[in-house]
């Protein structure tokens, strides 16, 4: 019988341990606002929302903001079922997702909160590919390139006759959706014979250790690993442009700079704490975005987003 | 003579293969653990264990994550152990050997091999949406309990099988009923094996991420869950989120969190071994 006693005591200890921390927390009730705000969605947007939630907690400790990382698509699925108040998205909402929102009578407001550049990177030992045109990228990545475009000199004759090794994010990520949309012309359509990983650090390692590699991922991952990688300038007809904070935010790094968004459920905006959080978000996104490695919008754009949100609230009498 | 020489050679060869196989695994494991400890050891301090996550890696901590893991562990234990052990007893002591029992047995064995993400989908639909538990600790625990039930059932049956028939006979001979025999003789004698299986199964549950992501475990939780209906995060989620960050400092945090998770697992395996040894000493047939 001792066994059962031990089992029971283990579980009781476990429960006590976990309850201990929380009871104190519940006691400190101030006059501040309280409530829950549920956020889910893109893992690309997550660091910004996390930073905002962290700062928001300083001024409103009793509003519990929780954030998940189901991905842009997974986030919209929950958003459309009224399971979340705000959805993080690294691409605009798709038509099919809009339809599900309508089916469940979910209305929303979208807010652009930052820019993210997609970096096209090569190994530092690669001396030939200084820049690449959008057509060349398309030639490499389009579905018909599979098993055909396999060598560097097939892209440009003066490049070496060596196999090209491609690295990119997994097909479930918004980054992949965006890249294929911008380069191939159709979201989610590309060749399949490349090394794909949901973990961008794996891609960094892949490109950093392979002289004949070429890959793409979020600019933040390049900046953290700039010694191990080399940027390729992208030419969309107006000369080669390298992604920097400036070229990404003024859109001259075209077409691989993208805006990222949050979507706010209209019904949730009836709750004062959600309104307050979103206003706080827009006001502070600029400085916090830089903290976590993304590119902020110009200040006047945040002002516009703020005004748009206020008028959204007014038109719906929230 | 010739044959005995040949056999000795075979013997030696197999010994070497055995050694290599053992050390191959051990060395790789050792390499990983050294690497992780080297990266993360200095990161672990009181603040790390008692802070919430932050955008600044050096201010970030794993408080909600490890408390969430303990919650999940405790609830999973409470849910899965009684059901698992009871099913094991049913199959071993009560079930008639017919086709239905056989079908059930085969299915339980198969369930042990179903990928954990499938359990996540099941948990999301049934516990999360149908029962309306949402993305709560309860949903997570129920899902993980389902995941490890087959393991508990199978190990309970193995432990019960190991109890010698003579013990049962002796108990019946003294006039004990079937239930008295099971409850007072067979179960205590097999408890070592049952607990070992259970704790190993729970060690597996504590490291699961995939099913919990599916049911909606979070990454940022600024509070400590206070009831089973609260939303939560767990250590593997936190580790997963940190390893996908570009900044190296977050990878150090992940290494530190892995050490904490490893400690929990080692501790549980330690308990399992201790209990097994204790019960084995007591029961000498």
Chain B contact present for A183, CB below 8 A: no
Residue A165 lies in a domain: yes
Find the CB nearest A22 among B219, B225, B246.
B225
Domain boundary among A241, A257, A273: A257
Residue A207 lies in a domain: yes
Chain-chain contact of B77 with A17 (C-beta, under 8 angstroms): no
C-alpha distance from A306 to closest chain B C-alpha (Å): 24
State how far the Cα of B228 lies from the Cα of B70, in Å rounded to an integer. Answer: 12
Question: Do residues A73 and A170 lie in contact, with contact meaning Cβ atoms separated by under 8 Å?
Answer: no
Chain-chain contact of A68 with B55 (C-beta, under 8 angstroms): no
Contacts of B78 in chain A (CB under 8 A): 11
Angle at A278 between CA A274 and CA A283, to 5 degrees: 150
Residue A95 lies in a domain: yes
Instruction: Give B280's contacts (C-beta < 8 A, 6+ positions apart).
Output: B192
State how far the Cα of B239 lies from the Cα of A172, in Å rounded to an integer. Answer: 20
What integer pLDDT is reported at residue B220 of this predicted model? 92
What integer pLDDT is reported at residue B3 of this predicted model? 87
Q: Which residue is closest to B186 within chain A, CA to CA? A: A1
Question: Do residues B217 and B208 lie in contact, with contact meaning Cβ atoms separated by under 8 Å?
Answer: no
Find the CB nearest A69 among B134, B195, B241.
B241
A48 shares its domain with A75: yes
Write the CA distances from A2 to A8, A73, A218, B187, integer angstroms.
Answer: 10, 50, 56, 11
Burial annotation B264-284 (CB, 10 A radius, 16+ → b, else e): bbeebeebbeebbeebeeeee
Judged by DSSP in three states, A193 sits in coil
A287 shares its domain with A276: yes
C-alpha distance from A51 to closest chain B C-alpha (Å): 5
Q: What are the strands, taking DSSP E only, across B75-227?
A: none
What integer pLDDT is reported at residue A173 of this predicted model? 77
Write the CA distances from A187 to A141, A143, A176, integer angstroms.
Answer: 12, 12, 8
Write the CA distances from A128 to A156, A157, A161, A168, B125, integer angstroms.
Answer: 10, 11, 12, 21, 53
* Global pTM value: 0.82
Contacts of A65 in chain B (CB under 8 A): 220, 222
Mutate to test the interface with A, among B220, B237, B241 (most CBs of A within 10 A): B220
Q: Which of A176-180, A277-281, B47-51, B145-149 has the lowest mean pLDDT?
A: A176-180
Q: Which of residues 123-182 of A touch B (CB under 8 A)?
A: none
Domain boundary among A230, A257, A284: A257
State how far the Cα of A205 lies from the Cα of A148, in Å rounded to an integer. Answer: 26
- Retrieve residue A198's tokens: 């949901």
State how far the Cα of B120 lies from the Cα of B210, in Å rounded to an integer. Answer: 7
Question: Do residues A234 and A130 lie in contact, with contact meaning Cβ atoms separated by under 8 Å?
Answer: no
Find the CB nearest A14 among B73, B223, B241.
B73
Share of chain A above pLDDT 70, in %: 90
Instruction: Give A35's contacts (C-beta < 8 A, 6+ positions apart).
Output: A62, A63, A64, A271, A273, A274
Contacts of B77 in chain A (CB under 8 A): 7, 10-11, 14
What integer pLDDT is reported at residue B61 of this predicted model? 93
Q: Which residue is closest to B50 within chain A, CA to CA? A: A21
Residue ranges in chain A assigned as alpha helix (H) = 2-27, 46-59, 71-80, 95-103, 134-141, 174-183, 200-208, 219-224, 245-249, 272-291, 299-315
The CATH number covering residue A294 comes to: 3.40.190.10
A127 shares its domain with A250: yes
State how far the Cα of A223 lies from the Cα of A98, in Å rounded to an integer. Answer: 35
Write the CA distances from B132 to A61, A84, A174, B129, B135, integer angstroms.
Answer: 28, 15, 29, 5, 9
State how far the Cα of B209 lies from the Cα of B176, in Å rounded to an integer. Answer: 46
Q: Which residue is closest to B190 within chain A, CA to CA? A: A3
Sheet holding A233-235, edge to edge: A131-133, A233-235, A240-241
The DSSP output letter for A143 is G
Residue A18 lies in a domain: no
Residue A295 lies in a domain: yes
Chain-chain contact of A199 with B275 (C-beta, under 8 angstroms): no
Chain-chain contact of A3 with B53 (C-beta, under 8 angstroms): no
Contacts of A69 in chain B (CB under 8 A): 213, 218-219, 241
A233 shares its domain with A280: no
- ipTM, two decimals, is 0.80
A194 shares its domain with A176: yes
Q: Which of residues 1-30 of A touch B (CB under 8 A)?
A: 1, 3, 6-7, 10-11, 14-15, 17-19, 21-23, 25-26
Chain-chain contact of B70 with A17 (C-beta, under 8 angstroms): yes
Domain that holds residue A246: 117-257
A149 shares its domain with A230: yes
Burial class (CB in 10 A: 0-12, 13-18, 19+), B27: exposed
What integer pLDDT is reported at residue A230 of this predicted model? 94
Residue A9 lies in a domain: no
A303 shares its domain with A233: no
Contacts of A173 in chain B (CB under 8 A): none
Share of chain A above pLDDT 90, in %: 63
State how far the Cα of A44 lies from the Cα of A173, in Å rounded to an integer. Answer: 9
Contacts of B180 in chain A (CB under 8 A): none
Find the CB nearest B67 among A1, A6, A21.
A21
A158 shares its domain with A91: no
State how far the Cα of A196 lies from the Cα of A72, in Å rounded to an integer. Answer: 18
Contacts of A6 in chain B (CB under 8 A): 275
Number of domains in chain A: 2
A219 shares its domain with A237: yes
At A256, phi and psi to the nearest 5?
A: -100, 15
A125 shares its domain with A233: yes
What integer pLDDT is reported at residue A296 of this predicted model? 92
pLDDT per position as a tens digit, B141-190: 999 999 999 999 999 999 999 999 999 999 999 999 999 999 999 998 89
A197 shares its domain with A310: no
Residue A1 lies in a domain: no
Chain-chain contact of A40 with B216 (C-beta, under 8 angstroms): yes
What integer pLDDT is reported at residue A8 of this predicted model? 52
What integer pLDDT is reported at residue A18 of this predicted model? 45
Chain-chain contact of A3 with B217 (C-beta, under 8 angstroms): no
Question: Do residues B205 and B147 lie in contact, with contact meaning Cβ atoms separated by under 8 Å?
Answer: yes
For B208, half-sphere exposure in the C-beta direction (CA atoms, 13 angstrom radius) is 30
Contacts of B137 in chain A (CB under 8 A): none
What integer pLDDT is reported at residue B97 of this predicted model? 86
Chain B contact present for A114, CB below 8 A: no
Indicate if the pLDDT at residue A149 is higher than 50.
Answer: yes
What integer pLDDT is reported at residue A51 of this predicted model? 94
Identify the H or E element spanning A121. strand A108-122
Contacts of A57 in chain B (CB under 8 A): 222
pLDDT per position as a tens digit, A15-57: 444 444 443 334 344 456 888 999 999 888 999 999 999 999 9
Parallel, antiparallel or unpaired: strands A86-89 and A257-265:
antiparallel
Chain-chain contact of B70 with A51 (C-beta, under 8 angstroms): no
Q: Which of A234, A22, A42, A260 lies closest to A121, judged by CA?
A: A234
pLDDT per position as a tens digit, A205-263: 999 999 999 999 989 889 889 899 999 999 998 889 999 888 998 888 988 998 999 99
Residue A21 lies in a domain: no
Residue by residue, DSSP assigns A154-174 as GTSTTS-S-B-EEEEE-TTSH
A86 shares its domain with A209: no
C-alpha distance from B269 to closest chain A C-alpha (Å): 14
Indicate if the pLDDT at residue A96 is higher than 80.
Answer: yes
Mutate to test the interface with B, among A54, A197, A208, A281 (most CBs of B within 10 A): A54
Residue B235 neighbours by CB distance under 10 Å = 24
Q: What is the pLDDT along chain B (285 residues), one digit of tens a residue?
A: 688 899 999 999 999 999 999 999 999 999 999 999 999 999 999 999 999 999 888 899 999 999 999 999 999 999 999 999 999 999 999 988 889 999 998 999 898 889 999 999 999 999 999 999 989 999 999 999 999 999 999 999 999 999 999 999 999 999 999 999 999 999 988 988 898 899 889 988 998 888 998 898 999 999 999 999 999 999 999 998 898 888 889 999 999 999 999 999 888 888 888 888 887 766 655
What integer pLDDT is reported at residue A22 of this predicted model? 40
Chain A to chain B, count of Cβ pairs less than 8 Å apart?
119
Q: Which residue is closest to A219 within chain B, CA to CA? A: B246
Q: Which residue is closest to A10 within chain B, CA to CA? A: B74
Angle between helices B248-282 and A2-27 (to 10 degrees): 150
Domain boundary among A218, A235, A257: A257
Chain-chain contact of A19 with B248 (C-beta, under 8 angstroms): no
Question: Do residues A176 and A225 lie in contact, with contact meaning Cβ atoms separated by under 8 Å?
Answer: no
End-to-end alpha carbon distance in chain B: 41
Angle between helices B63-89 and A2-27 (to 10 degrees): 150
Find the CB nearest A293 among B78, B246, B248.
B246
């Amino acid at each position: 019988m001792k066994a059962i006693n031990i089992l029971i005591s283990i579980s009781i200890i476990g429960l006590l341990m976990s309850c201990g921390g929380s009871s104190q927390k519940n006691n400190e009730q101030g006059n501040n606002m309280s409530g829950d705000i549920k956020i889910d969605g893109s893992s690309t947007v997550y660091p910004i929302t996390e930073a905002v939630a962290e700062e928001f907690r300083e001024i409103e400790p009793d509003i519990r903001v929780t954030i998940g990382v189901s991905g842009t698509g997974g986030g919209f699925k929950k958003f459309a079922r009224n399971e979340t108040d705000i959805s993080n998205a690294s691409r605009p909402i798709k038509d099919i997702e809009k339809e599900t929102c309508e089916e469940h009578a979910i209305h929303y407001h979208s807010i652009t909160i930052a820019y993210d550049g997609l970096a096209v990177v090569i190994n530092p030992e690669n001396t030939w590919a200084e820049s690449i045109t959008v057509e060349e990228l398309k030639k490499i990545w389009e579905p018909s390139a599979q098993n055909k475009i396999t060598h560097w000199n097939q892209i440009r004759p003066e490049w070496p006759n060596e196999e090209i090794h491609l690295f990119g994010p997994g097909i479930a990520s918004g980054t992949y959706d965006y890249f294929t949309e911008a380069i191939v012309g159709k979201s989610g359509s590309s060749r399949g014979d490349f090394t794909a990983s949901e973990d961008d650090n794996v891609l960094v390692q892949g490109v950093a250790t392979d002289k004949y590699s070429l890959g793409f991922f979020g600019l933040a991952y390049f900046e953290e690993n700039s010694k191990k990688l080399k940027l390729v300038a992208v030419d969309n007809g107006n000369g080669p442009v390298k992604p920097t904070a400036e070229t990404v935010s003024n859109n001259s790094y075209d077409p691989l700079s993208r805006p990222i968004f949050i979507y706010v459920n209209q019904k949730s905006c009836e709750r004062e704490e959600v309104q307050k959080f979103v206003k706080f978000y827009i006001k502070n996104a600029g400085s916090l975005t830089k903290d976590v490695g993304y590119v902020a919008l110009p200040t006047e754009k945040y002002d516009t987003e703020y005004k748009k949100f206020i008028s959204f609230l007014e038109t719906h009498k929230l | 003579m010739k044959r005995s020489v040949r056999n000795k050679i075979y013997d030696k060869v197999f010994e070497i293969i055995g050694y290599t196989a053992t050390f191959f695994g051990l060395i790789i494991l050792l390499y990983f653990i050294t690497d992780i400890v080297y990266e993360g050891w200095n990161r672990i301090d009181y603040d790390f264990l008692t802070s919430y996550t932050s955008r600044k890696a050096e201010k970030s901590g794993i408080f909600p994550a490890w408390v969430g893991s303990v919650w999940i562990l405790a609830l999973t234990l409470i849910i899965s152990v009684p059901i698992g052990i009871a099913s094991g007893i049913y199959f071993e002591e009560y079930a008639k050997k017919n086709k239905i029992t056989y079908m059930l047995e085969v299915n339980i064995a198969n369930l042990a091999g179903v990928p954990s993400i499938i359990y996540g989908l099941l948990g999301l639909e049934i516990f999360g949406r149908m029962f309306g538990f949402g993305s709560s600790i309860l949903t997570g625990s129920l899902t993980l309990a389902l995941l490890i039930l087959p393991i508990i059932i199978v190990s309970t049956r193995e432990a019960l099988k190991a109890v010698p028939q003579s013990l049962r006979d002796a108990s019946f001979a003294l006039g004990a009923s079937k239930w008295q025999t099971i409850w007072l003789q067979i179960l205590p004698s097999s408890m070592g094996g049952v607990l070992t299986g259970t704790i190993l199964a729970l060690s597996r549950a504590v490291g699961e991420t995939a099913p919990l992501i599916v049911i909606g475990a979070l990454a940022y939780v600024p509070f400590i869950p206070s009831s089973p209906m609260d939303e939560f995060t767990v250590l593997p989620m936190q580790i997963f989120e940190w390893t996908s960050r570009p900044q190296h400092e977050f990878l150090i945090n992940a290494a530190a969190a892995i050490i904490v998770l490893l400690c929990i697992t080692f501790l549980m395996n330690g308990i399992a071994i201790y209990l097994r040894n204790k019960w084995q000493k007591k029961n000498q047939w």
